Amino acid sequence: MVMARRGASRAALCVVAMVCAAAVFSVADAAGNTLQLKHRPLTVERIRQGKVERAGAAARRLLASSDEVTGDHAEVITNYMDAQYYGEITLGTPGQSFEVVFDTGSSNLWVPSKKCAWYQLACKLHNQYDSSASSTYVANGTEFAIQYGSGSLSGFLSADTCSVAGFELQQQTFAEATNEPGLSFVMGRFDGILGLAFERIAVDGVVPAFYNMISQFNIQPLFSVWFSRKANASPGGEIVFGGTNPDHFDGNHTYVPVTREAYWQFAVDSATVGSGDFNFCDGGCPAIADTGTSLIAGPTEEVTKLNKMLGATDAVAAECKQYLSSYLPELLQKVKNSTPLEACQDIHLCDKVEGVLRRASRKHSAARRSLASVGARSVFEEEEQGGDICHLCQVAATFIESALASNATDEWVEKFVEDEVCNNLLPASGEGVVDCDKVDSMPDIDFTIGGRNFTLTPDQYILKVSSAGQSECISGFMGIDLPPAAGPLWILGDVFLGAYHTVFDFENKRVGFANSK
């Protein structure tokens, strides 16, 4: 799932907003059992932290080079910092309630354990399963671990009665998590994850909950998902186990075969911006339908080009410019009479810190080489006063010094420094920020799947999200590069699934899409 770099320009972008409205989704009965979900609106902070953790997972976990996918690879593309939709299940007798993300990008069920250590904050802040309080608990004890970008989530297996959407699953094996890494699980409104992907990627060979629904209740081996993209809508979404609800889609579903029985992976024929102005996924590409991802994620190079076509500014560059603009005029004046480090100390962005750029050449080209060699890319990695903020200041001051040698005007120097530091020096994030006033004039984007065009309009693929109390418009396309054995891969998350009602058909090994209503 899905993500960006943290900037010094906002206070701790990696710290998630802890207060978010949750809208309860009431659901109507259909040809199957339905489940109430809750919807958590997106914020910039959660989107970006989601990318950070997902990218970390991809970097840590390489899939096997063969076509086989085993359980210990279940989470390479899965992340929940930006998860929006989750619902209630119970475990044990009497039932202990848990909010879980229903995730088509994984196959295991896990919840926090009462046996986690006192210092496990993620565990202590959420509902915890207490085996001693259940009369139907069956001990297992097998060690369990899933690798995430922020570390390994670990615990042990147990079995108990599990109630999901009215189905009481007997002796459902699940994991009791005793170690939960990263902000995703500390700040998440959900307690755990219920995976809805294929059994072959289940960690420890555990039989997934939906497989047990099929075998124990003889339901039709499919489930369907509808997400409303309307803010604070009620009802706002549903998941139907064993059927579909015609109230939430128009016409017939277009089905495509699953190409890899691991995630719900299928082939996209092509994708086009507007009237063919830009084609991505040229010649076809693999994609997955992932309910655990909020955005549409794809290879960073292609997404960067796509966002540029949409008139989006790279998020890292925009954030960098916003921060630089707050102190550039004063810094420029200081550099005229002192060294870059001294100038940054004078404006209190460096506090008696040895400058990483002190040895940089005064010539522009040499300065660029030196900046690259000392790792200027790390400017947005932390938020330490006298650390990366100081480094960023010295980067800017060094370019100011170089530009002043040409006798340019102050205005020209400021623009030059912003462009050099923010546009050229820092790597693209794959995340785009757009002008909210221009959304209506943006082009449609068409995904061709199974020979049919599935169109996303600007109001569907541009997300208006909150950031520090203000609205910001973010492209729904996010860059993420997966290891070669897993990627390149497009991840069609809630931005796409919100527009199209989706059927996940186990029996016929296919995915179907129809217009949502």
Across 333-342, 362-371, 396-405, which has the greatest mean pLDDT? 333-342
Per-residue exposure over 194-229, b if at least 16 CB sit within 10 Å of its own CB, e if not: bbbbbbebbbbebebbbbbbbeeeebebbbbbbbbb
Angle between helix 315-335 and helix 410-418 axes, rounded to 10 deg? 140
Question: CA 175, 181, 184, 187: dihedral to nearest 10 degrees?
Answer: 100
Mean pLDDT of 331-337: 92
3-state secondary structure 433-501: EECHHHHHHCCCEEEEECCEEEEECHHHHEEEEEECCEEEEEEEEEECCCCCCCCCCEEECHHHHCCEE
CATH top class, domain 23-237: mainly beta
Quote the Cα angle for 315-317-320, to 5°: 105
For residue 105, what pLDDT is reported? 87
User: Beta-carbon neighbour count of residue 351 at 10 Å?
Assistant: 12
In the chain, CATH 2.40.70.10 sits at 23-237
Tokens standing for residue 321: 């410019």
For residue 319, what pLDDT is reported? 74
Mean pLDDT of 412-431: 77
Across 112-121, 187-196, 422-431, 477-486, which has the greatest mean pLDDT? 112-121
Backbone angles phi, psi at 347, to 5 degrees: -100, 15
Query: For residue range 234-249, what is the model confidence (pLDDT) as tens digits?
Result: 666 889 999 999 999 9
Higher per-residue confidence, 380 vs 188: 188
**Tokens 């958590």 found at:** 40
Backbone angles phi, psi at 457, to 5 degrees: -85, 165
Mean pLDDT for the chain overall:
77
Across 4-18, 88-102, 375-389, least confident range = 4-18
Assess whether pLDDT exceeds 90 at residue 490.
yes
Cα–Cα distance measured from residue 355 to residue 359, given in angstroms and rounded to the nearest whole number: 8
**Tokens 């004078």 found at:** 346
For residue 407, what pLDDT is reported? 82
Assess whether pLDDT exceeds 50 at residue 16.
no
Nearest by Cα to 196 from 513, 503, 517, 425? 503
Flag whether the pTM goes above 0.85. Answer: no
Cα–Cα distance measured from residue 324 to residue 355, given in angstroms and rounded to the nearest whole number: 18
pLDDT confidence band for 154 (50 / 70 / 90): very high
Query: For residue range 263-295, what is the model confidence (pLDDT) as tens digits?
Result: 999 999 999 998 877 888 988 999 999 998 888
Query: For residue range 450-474, what is the model confidence (pLDDT) as tens digits?
Result: 999 999 999 999 988 766 667 788 8
User: Beta-carbon neighbour count of residue 54 at 10 Å?
Assistant: 30
User: Beta-carbon neighbour count of residue 135 at 10 Å?
Assistant: 9
Which active-site residues does the annotation give? Answer: 103, 290
